[in-house]
Chains A and B, each alone.
Chain A
Amino acid sequence: MNEYKELDSDILIIGSGGAGLRAAIEAGANGASVVVVSKSLLGKAHTVMAEGGIAASLGDVDSKDSWEVHFSDTIIEGVFLGNWRMAEILAKEAPERVYELERYGALFDRTPEGKIMQRAFGAHTYRRLCHVGDKTGLELIRTLEDRILHMNNISVMDETLITKIVSKDNKVIGAIGFEMKTGKFVVFNTKSVIIATGGLGRIYKITSNSWESTGDGIALAFKAGAKLVDMEMIQFHPTGMVWPPGVKGLLVTEGVRGEGGILLNSKGERFMLRYSPKKKELDARDVVARAIYNEIKNGNGTEHGGVYLDITHKGAAFIKKKLPAMYEQFKEFAGIDITKEKMEVAPTVHYFMGGILVDAETCKTNIEGLYAAGETAGGLHGANRLGGNSLADILVFGRRAGLYASEYIKNAKAGKMGVREIEAEIDNVKKYIDNKNKGVNPYEMTDKLRNAMEEYVGIIRNEKDLKTALDIVYKLKKESAKCKVSGDMKFNKGFIECIELNNMLLLAECMIKSALERKESRGAHTRSDYPEKSSDWEVNIICNNVNGDIILESAAIPEIPERLKKILKQ
């Protein structure tokens, strides 16, 4: 018999990033009792790192902007793979979510007229990103955190890690996890679960993502029977730091280019003029990332294997006001003064477009009572995400998930988890701790996985590499069954690594299989053996869980209705 405590609530929200917190506010306001859990401390979710801003067509700077243009930018840059209805909802509702955030207490930078300031960002037709210097995510999280702390039907259990979402007869009934601070297991009995666990950048060696971004929620949803979509679509941000080694991959915000920064190769050539004469540095991320990748590969790279990003011409005062975090980051970590010296940058894994398949309107998955929102959910961004669209996404769809989950619970009956199921899961998790026998070191396994993904499932892919990666994943799956750590469950990071590794291996397999399946190049997914975009592949690749096996299926992209086709440019 294992020891555990049980906790009842209407809704369990997994994740306290922007999506989770916004969902909690909505569900709480709608009268539901809500428990929010997260792997990190409250207020420290991955979202705090977001820099550039929130995309919303307020038209405060460019009055010609409208939801129609935002919609059309999103669909076109997602290379027609994105779900039109999600894009429409995003574009229409983002402005209200921004004003609402302001009413909750967020303080945005202002225009000379005192309106909300908006900056230019890659592939947005107009200046559209509402921002707070380069710390927009921090302001977003603090504002929502403050709100949540002042609502009394929401309780937060931070540093609590969910290891299983429990469903019965295609209906969610709760989840199981443990508190990191005590090592004690918790069984959450709920009518509804909202997954808001963010992305999976940590599957790669070089990434801008936080420690917690290991895709847990996506893996847990799949294991519970949910469908996954667009798993081959991962975004490489064009500009990550390359030096020193400890911060390799750390993001250099697109805001640098938005504020006028230019890219140069080692010969001093502004190479984007060649790759994208019109949009130059501010073309979509996949275009700029591939250009930098090519320059480095063709021998035009810098000393530490990057290219130069130069904003010195803007002057010290401007740079310190508009990009304070970047100024600080380079000064502290690399000893470089970006007001006087060029930065060195190269692509870094940044954002996951794929994820859990959800209903556009309600964020519902194919499991009853199970919802997903934010980076965890797939569909909105298609083959390429626009900068700023994610913060808009987490507010817009976080709210919707909270709203529809709290409607659902009004007529839903709570299920009951069986004791045997609970015991089995606890045993399954505890097996990683063994103080007598030395097992495989989980860190070695993750290291191998990250290297394989970096090398074989990168910016440019081909069948041979992808198959090599798949073989490695299969091998690691076998070996990692022998992972063991010593100590106990209390704040044991090695133990957590074992759990995350298990999730990451499942997701890597989905990603590689989907990438093998898509025999074309589209957006972030580039195949050197199929370099062209093909109309045959205007489909979403879906991963189904059939008795534990990953079975792929291609589904037609919902057709864009006439009224929206008309507003798509070109």
Chain B
Amino acid sequence: MLMEKNRIKIRIYRKDPEKDAKGYFQEFDVPVEEGMVVLDAVNYVTEHYDQTIAVRWNCKAARCGSCAAEINGMPKLMCKTRIDQLGGVVSIEPMHAFPLVKDLVTDVNENYETERAMPEFTPKEEKEPWIIDEMDVLRSQEFRKCIECFLCQDVCHVIRDHTTKYIGPRHVAKAASLDMHPADSLDRSKILTEEKGLGYCNVTKCCQEVCPEHIKITDNAIIPEKERAADGFYDPIMMLIGKIKKRKNGKNVE
């Protein structure tokens, strides 16, 4: 590891698409503190060497999902990746699945449009206050841990291809969090497969491997939604029964 006398070399990707035809790496020498994370190193550079480096962060606590980047080629949160756990030179690049704004910052706003196009939470008619079993809450809550870092979108090869209409793992997990809400009345599985390209996902599980919140996106959201859609398409009666009996009871639809 390039850590001489408690210093480290980091390489930061630089490009302003309006000005530069090609991107390049700029190398900096940064002092290392105990427990330091990649974002500390980048901030050290902006504070001491070059204030013009574009970098996005907010909570610095792995809670807001602002600081997603590719660190030594791996999609990670800069504020959660410790320098001492990385080997070799530390290279920091922006996410590749999104349009570049400048340096480490990408434009992720398309994700809000995707969310806007998904049918929102639509509660069943029920007497208030709602009585909901703790067991039924757990399944949906897993997806609600999502901090919208969009690292899963970044790693998904279907999205990187840019050729399909697949909305990507984050948005399937979002749909699943609504579908599995015990008080929700809709079923989004059909929309997911018919309109949102879920069929293109070939369950490689890369998305769930990079999720900093350890959400089992493929296992617990994508596969159940695919199966539910399949059930619904082939057997409308099963789907009806499923809606009444199985769907909202917090167990897997199998």
B52 and A494: CB pair below 8 A?
A: yes
Does A332 contact B181, Cβ atoms closer than 8 Å?
Answer: no
User: Is A550 positioned at the interface, with any CB of B under 8 Å from its CB?
Assistant: no
Max chain B C-beta neighbours (<10 A), residue from A132, A324, A332 = A332
Q: Which residues of chain A in 167-222 are interfacial with respect to chain B, using CB atoms and an 8 Å cutoff? A: 181, 210-212
Number of A-B contacts (CB under 8 A): 176
Asked whether, in the complex, the Cβ of A49 is within 8 Å of the Cβ of B54, the reply is no
Q: Which residues of B contact A133 (CB under 8 A)?
A: 141
Which single residue of chain B is at the shortest CB-CB distance from A159? B56
**Cβ 8 A contact of A49, one of B63, B80, B178:** B63
Interface of B is mostly: loop
1/0 per position for B174-215, CB-CB distance to A under 8 A? 000010011010000000000000000000000000000000
**B34 interface residue per 8 A CB criterion:** yes
Number of A interface residues at 8 Å Cβ cutoff, please give it.
Answer: 71
Count how many chain B residues have C-beta atoms less than 8 Å from C-beta atoms of the other chain.
61
Q: Which residues of chain A come closer than 8 Å to B48, judged between CB atoms?
A: 443
Residues of A within 8 A of B121 (CB): 104-105, 146
Q: In the complex, which residues of chain B have a beta carbon less than 8 angstroms from the beta carbon of A494?
A: 46, 51-52
Interface string of A151-175 (1 = CB under 8 A from B): 0000010100000000000000000
CB distance from B82 to the nearest CB of A (A): 8
B107:A46 contact, CB within 8 angstroms: no
> Which of B35, B123, B131, B181 makes the CB contact (< 8 A) with A244?
B35
Nearest chain A CB to B88's CB is how many angstroms away?
Answer: 21
A260 smallest CB distance to B (angstroms): 19
Contact present for A211 and B123 (CB under 8 Å): no
Contact pattern, A 515-531, Cβ under 8 Å of B = 1, otherwise 0 = 00000000000000000
Whole-angstrom distance between the Cβ of B79 and the nearest chain A Cβ? 9
**Contact call A149/B63, Cβ cutoff below 8 A:** no
Question: Which of B33, B40, B116, B140 has a CB less than 8 Å from the CB of A149?
Answer: B116
Interface string of B132-144 (1 = CB under 8 A from A): 1110010011001
Question: Which of chain A's residues have a CB closer than 8 A to the CB of B254?
Answer: none
Complex Cα spacing A135 to B112, Å: 21
Given A156-B112, A491-B105, A138 contacting B140 (CB threshold 8 A)? no
Given A43-B148, A245-B35: A107 in contact with B64 (beta carbons within 8 A)? no
Name the distance in Å between A128's Cβ and chain B's nearest Cβ.
Answer: 16
- Our pick among B35, B65, B115 for the contact of A334 (Cβ within 8 Å) is B35
Q: Does B12 contact A (CB under 8 A)?
A: no
A497 vs chain B, min Cβ distance (A)? 8
Whether the pair A211, B58 counts as a contact (CB closer than 8 A) is yes
Asked if B58 and A40 make an inter-chain contact with CB atoms under 8 angstroms apart, the answer reads yes
Most chain B CB within a 10 A radius of its CB, from A41, A335, A494: A41
**Quick one: which of A319-343 are within 8 Å of B by CB?**
324-325, 328-329, 332-335
B228 close to A (CB within 8 Å): no
Of chain A, the residue at the smallest CB distance from B123 is: A103
B35–A247 contact, CB under 8 A?
A: yes
With CB as the reference atom, state the residue of chain A lying closest to B184: A105
Cβ of B102 under 8 Å from chain A: yes
Q: Which of A109, A142, A158, A329 contacts B62 (CB 8 A)?
A: A329
Bound complex: CA of A433 vs CA of B113, how far in Å?
34
**Chain B, 73-113, CB within 8 A of any chain A CB:** 80, 82, 101-103, 105, 107-109, 112
Given contacts A105-B120, A107-B181, A110-B137, contact A493 B64 (CB under 8 A): no
> Is B221 an interface position by the 8 A CB rule?
no
A243 interfacial contact with B, CB 8 Å: yes
Nearest chain-B residue to A112 (Cβ)? B134
Cβ of A250 under 8 Å from chain B:
yes
Chain A residues near B34 (CB-CB < 8 A):
243-245
Q: Are B112 and A149 in contact (CB under 8 A)?
A: yes
Interface residue ranges, B against A (CB under 8 Å): 16, 18, 33-37, 40, 46-48, 51-66, 80, 82, 101-103, 105, 107-109, 112, 115-116, 120-121, 123, 128-134, 137, 140-141, 144-148, 178, 181-182, 184
